[in-house]
Amino acid sequence: MANPFSTSVYPVADQLWSILDLLAKFIVPPEHAGTVSPFSDLHLKAGRPAYYRHQGELIVMEGGAILTQDLAEQLIRPFLTAKQFDQLQGTPPRDVDTSWYWTEKKINFRLNVFNDIDGLAVVLRVLPNTIPDIAEIGLPSDLVWREICMLQQGLVLVTGATGSGKSTTIAAMLNHINRHRRVRVITLEDPIEYIFQSNHALFSQRELGRHMPSFADGLRSALREDPDIIYVGELRDPETIALAMTASETGHLVFGTLHTRDTRSALTRILDSMPASRATETATQLSLSLSYVLGQKLLAHQDGGRVLAMEVLKNTAGVANLIRQGQVHQINSMLETGKKEGMNSLESHLRSLVQEGKISMDEAIQNANIPGSFR
């Protein structure tokens, strides 16, 4: 029986390519071993040719044919189970988040398959082969990650846009913990991105839809499984957020991600997610449970590739007081004055990256959270 991954169906110039041929763009040549592929995503959708994201820019595949619905299905179907494919064709159809490991090339991909106005579509994102060392991913200060990795309890939030490297930052910290602490770690992910091999720590990794019906259910179960550390892939609903705060208050270190533009917006998202009748209670609980908020972006490096820019908010007594009083809009001033505690604004880190020659001034201006910071 023919391998559907190897079946050549997609016209490129005068050739037919398989889905594996399309994914070969992500293979890092031997002479560049140890580096990250400049290609990060493959986009396939009915009605358009294949697209890649290269160095952060979306580019059309040269010579690639426009995908019909049938052709899109032939390229995407091999990644899906029968149940997942039925889910896509249901009424109403539901998106599929899953992962796929290319065993021969040792490359892991995260997939989101969905329907749009033109038909079937998928985005495949390549994940690094190995978990990067936390000291090498580019946090503004070693003090920050060292303190986070030694926390016994508290809530650590990593926030940013899709594709900003949030899960990589958390994975790097968890991997450092894995090498240095004897703790029980439970991860709740959608989907599982990095595979941890238990070292000093004991890991259990669970995937949404395969091992648990929801993040809230997974978190509720995790609290009965003797965890020291819990990683919640996304704090996406009030119940999960409330459980995460409770877990961090009751002796657990909880990592979670949010999709917001900066650290202040992350706090606002949490506070606004709860009913107005619980506003005071939520603010108090957050002020007590929060440890750190890391807001990050991936920017274009002047020499190629991408570089991390990060805002760091630590929950000092002053920050906790602002949260309780509902004065979150004053957080930006705390970022500028809290350097001794390891805090920094995104603009401060952008300035450092410009001075180090890693990013251009135009890149800094375009990505600053506060307009006019570089005038």
Q: Are 186 and 206 in contact (CB under 8 A)?
A: yes
pLDDT digits (tens, 9 = 90+) for 190-211: 888 888 999 999 999 998 888 9
Of the candidates 77, 112, 127, which is a domain's last residue?
127
Give the model's pLDDT for residue 304. Answer: 75
pLDDT digits (tens, 9 = 90+) for 286-314: 999 999 999 999 998 888 778 999 999 99
User: How many folded domains does the chain comprise?
Assistant: 2
Residues 185 and 229 in one domain: yes
- 299 pairs with which residues across the strands? 307
Give the model's pLDDT for residue 143. Answer: 93
Give the model's pLDDT for residue 221. Answer: 96
Instruction: Tell me whether residue 375 is in a domain.
Output: no
What single DSSP character describes residue 64? B
Instruction: Tell me whether residue 373 is in a domain.
Output: no
Give the model's pLDDT for residue 47. Answer: 97
What single DSSP character describes residue 233? S
- 97 pairs with which residues across the strands? 112
Produce one character per residue of 255-293: b if its CB has 16 or more CB atoms within 10 Å, e if not.
Answer: bbbbbbbbbbbbbebbbebbeeeeeeebbebbbbbbbbb
Residues of the chain with pLDDT under 50: none
Q: Which amino acid, one-letter code, is at 278?
A: R
Give the model's pLDDT for residue 269. Answer: 96
- Residue 28's domain spans which residues? 10-127
CATH number, domain at 22? 3.30.450.90
Strand, coil or helix: 315? coil
Q: Which amino acid, one-letter code, is at 19?
A: I
CA 357 from chain centre, in angstroms, equals: 26
What span, in angstroms and rounded, lies between the C-alpha atoms of 196 and 285? 31
Of the candidates 127, 151, 181, which is a domain's last residue?
127
DSSP for 238-274, please give it. HHHHHHHHHHHHTT-EEEEEE--SSHHHHHHHHHHHS
